Structure 1
């Protein structure tokens, strides 16, 4: 069977081109009202209370939207990737995205694989056509250098995410899956962690080289707290010649790291490593136990780095482990982050960081024009989620996925949700 653009078998295309529409004499006269089934997040001011975890904030409902405007595409989400920004939205921390956007309800989901059903070109030269399988680039508002200021289907007003059976979006945000790709759609649906890792790693590595220009990376350690983005970054670091290590809290994840050439560090060996919360600050015994865990962890980092500390530390956790990250960092080291999972407010001693010549790198998403190049590197080099490393929840199970993610019950670094069949 031949394959069309976007890796889609050409013989399948006609069945996908039946988007419901009331046609007039020309495109400008069409009146199209879509109301697909969706998981909707209501504003905190109107949603009311609910029992249970973050998944309880979602309401299954119809989400209406109007006709395609010029330059927009109607798409059918296939697989979505569950991201930390979705957890932040459901817990309304750091913001209530509905209130921030000035909208009563929103549909989340800004990374995943979609199938293009219709495109309103309006004379424009657009990068996709009906039937393509595409990756959604999560750019809402961009700055003058094409970095994201507001994220699509998060804090950017008027954007509709992938937690809907159908949605419409700016066709320029769609990047086709490589034609005849060697990888499954589930592997491609994890791309958000890889695209983010690509940008963050290259910025961090470039900063490190400004101070350590000539040393062989083989004599240096790159360390990461556990997570899918950190995993992808450490694979890039290993390609660059660094020694790489990462924490994990289960036998399954430790084995996964080992299989992929990353030194696994059992987080369970250091049970009290996290900074106590406000209610625990007066617990002296907890502080004593934490000092023991921190001491043991820093000794391990010293062993892995020949006593120098981590040259680059990937920390996407935030406040609970930030002081440990800085303590584990080598002189002329780089601490790099592209988000946070458990606390975005951090503090440090500027004098100590200056004397140690530590560089702090903070990035968000990536640069939109870099997207095709990152995709092509993934395809050519096999830098993509290993086959079978994902876990997929059905559309009916989305609230369960939200709760499992928030409570650390997912063994995979790549949780996905299925919206429509292929």
Structure 2
């Protein structure tokens, strides 16, 4: 057995209770079996806080301890790792190698992720630990000569790779119906967090007109620096739809309709009446109605997550008549991290990291993220010295 310091999530009695509030997420010693021949002993250097980490602590939409059947879990996927020891069957990997963690702990026969490392995959050990073990197949080496920092690669490791896979399908689906001659510079709109920003930046680099919705001054300024139009969400403050209140509360319904009308007019003007060709909606149920309404004919509504709400009601007739395509992806196929890394190295498609949290600040980061008060799209944290 091996022993390390880790932030450990313990099982709780109720799904609705947050592990941050109850003390069931705490820093302590954690023991794990020695790595097998096809595994690596690694030390995480930097990680990036992801939405599924907050889902884990909130025990919503699933309680991962119960789902995995484990009393204690180490969470975390997005990371840069250094190899401390490689098993005898881990060919081509040596002590000191630095790389990313591929998040698909369980994949299907084609290499697409089913269960995520450090989240819902039973037996996986996440990266909120000073030492960890991972399957050798999950190690993605980084280029030896890179102009980017390890902090940037940590931010890249899940959000950008997710965006790469999602954008390939969304853009491909649009081009199946609308050629470049028909629409040489499609309008692509997004709302969400870092994965959305990565996807919108990909769209910009593919010659699309791009815009992203945010109500945060700092993020709007970042969008402007990147050449992406920023739509200030504060102009339509009641755009989050609560179906029950909409049906029963006239004042709420009036406020929602006013916000929706403002957004529709904004997108109408921006797209010159055509509607968005692609909407990257990584938020989910509260904004699904608005997303589908701003989508133009033959448009594509794409997502790779379910941040707020897992169920989506929609009018099948309207979607068919408009020839809308709905794209749902889940992280990436096994070969896609290398593709994304190669593209980033050739083009500079990389996140900006403006703040790095220390190891002891993990609970503060977790709470700030849960409160929606993180100032950056990429909340990176340090685990070990580089």
Corresponding position: 1:409 with 2:376? no
- Give the aligned partner of residue 112 of structure 1: 79
Q: In the alignment, is the contact (CA less than 8 A) between 1:46 and 1:104 conserved in 2? A: no
Residues 50/209 of structure 1: CA separation in 2 closer, same or farther (3 Å cut)? closer
Answering whether residue 110 of structure 2 is matched by residue 145 of structure 1, we say yes
Taking the TM superposition and a 5 Å limit, the aligned residue runs for 1:14-413 are: 33-45=1-13, 56-121=23-88, 124=89, 126-191=91-156, 192-215=158-181, 217-276=183-242, 282-386=248-352, 389-413=353-377
1:214, CA displacement in angstroms? 3.8
Gaps of 5+ in 1: 1-32
How far apart are residue 178 of structure 1 and its match?
A: 0.9
- Quote how far apart the aligned CAs of 1:230 are: 1.1
How far apart, CA to CA, are the structure 1 residues paired with 2:92 and 2:216? Answer: 43
Return the offset for 1:239.
1.5
Kept in 2: contact 1:390–1:413 (CA 8 A): no
Give the CA deviation at 1:257.
0.1
Contact 1:127 1:172 in 2 (8 A): no
Q: Indicate conservation of the 8 Å contact 2:245/2:252, yes or no.
A: no
**Counterpart of 1:12?**
none
In structure 2, the gaps of 5 or more residues are none
Note the aligned Cα RMSD (angstroms). 1.9
**Given that residues 161 and 336 in structure 2 are in contact (C-alpha distance below 8 angstroms), is that contact kept between their aligned partners in structure 1?**
no
1:41 to 1:281, Cα distance in 2 relative to 1, 3 A: farther
Distance 1:46 1:216, change over 3 A: closer
- Cα-to-partner distance string for 1:332-355 (whole Å, 9 max, x where unaligned): 000000002111211101111011
Provide TM-score, normalisation by structure 1: 0.87
TM-superposed CA distance for 1:119, in Å, is: 0.9
1-structure distance, mates of 2:93, 2:135? 11
Q: Do the aligned residues in 1 keep the contact of 2:20 with 2:363 (CA within 8 Å)? A: no
CA contact (8 A) 1:77 1:164 kept: yes
1:96-152 Cα shifts (integer Å, max 9, x gaps): 11111111110001110111111112xx35242101111111111110100011111
Query: Residues 126 and 172 of structure 1 are in contact (CA less than 8 Å); yes or no, is this contact kept in structure 2?
Result: no
Q: Which residue of 2 aligns with 1:25?
A: none
Moved more, 40-49 or 66-75: 40-49
8 Å CA contact 2:105, 2:138 repeated in 1: no
Q: Cα 1:421–1:102, aligned 2, differ >3 Å: closer, same or farther?
A: same
Q: CA deviation at 1:212?
A: 0.7
SS at match of 1:366: coil
Q: How many residues align?
A: 385
Kept in 1: contact 2:40–2:90 (CA 8 A): no
In 1: Cα distance, 2:14 partner to 2:306 partner: 28
Aligned partner of residue 307 in structure 2, secondary structure: coil
Closer, same or farther: CA 280–165 of 1 in aligned 2, 3 Å: farther
Post-superposition CA distance 1:212-265 (Å, at most 9, x none): 124354442100013111111111111211110001112111110010010011
How far 1:409 sits from its partner (Å)? 0.7
Q: Counterpart of 1:64 in 2: which secondary structure?
A: strand
Distance change (3 Å), C-alpha of 1:49 and 1:407: closer
Change (3 A) 1:48 1:60: farther
- What does the per-residue CA deviation read over 1:10-40, in whole Å, with 9 as the maximum and x for residues that have no partner? xxxxxxxxxxxxxxxxxxxxxxx21211111
CA distance in 2, matches of 1:98, 1:410: 26
The TM-score with structure 2 as length reference comes to 0.95
The structure whose Rg is larger is 1
Assess, with a 3 A threshold, how the Cα gap between structure 1 residues 216 and 242 changes in structure 2: closer, same or farther: farther
